[in-house]
Amino acid sequence: MEKKIEKIKSMPASPGTLDGVRIPPCVRSGFCCKKFTCYLGVAHGSKVSGGCDFLRGDEPGAYACGLVIDGIISKTEIYAGEGCCSPLGNVARNEVVKNLTRQNRT
């Protein structure tokens, strides 16, 4: 039985800065894994393009790597949750951020 992935409930902190610029936090929008498969996903049998076969979750904010969930790899090996390098044009991410901001106001 597949583990239920909990949706994030609050805005994560920024993982830091790069050359003085704040790195946006990862909100598990699924954007990266839907666009590209990381090298470990490919090594474990996922297709190279068209999204990773190991992406789990059913909505933005609740996506996670199945290889990490199943303990096959650690999240540090793929930098999972280490910040968002694709915030521009990432509609799913923007929706998660908007919802988290709205929740935190109430």
Q: For residues 96 and 57, give the distance between their C-alpha atoms in angstroms, rounded to a whole number.
A: 14
CA distances from 30 to 26, 27, 48, 75 (A): 10, 9, 16, 15
Backbone phi, then psi, for 21, in 5-degree steps? -105, 130
* 53, 24 contact by CB (below 8 A): no
**What pLDDT does 4 receive?**
76
Q: What is the pLDDT of residue 87?
A: 83
- Give the mean pLDDT per block of 10 residues along the chain (106 residues): 81 92 93 93 95 95 96 94 86 93 78
Indicate whether this model's pTM tops 0.95: no
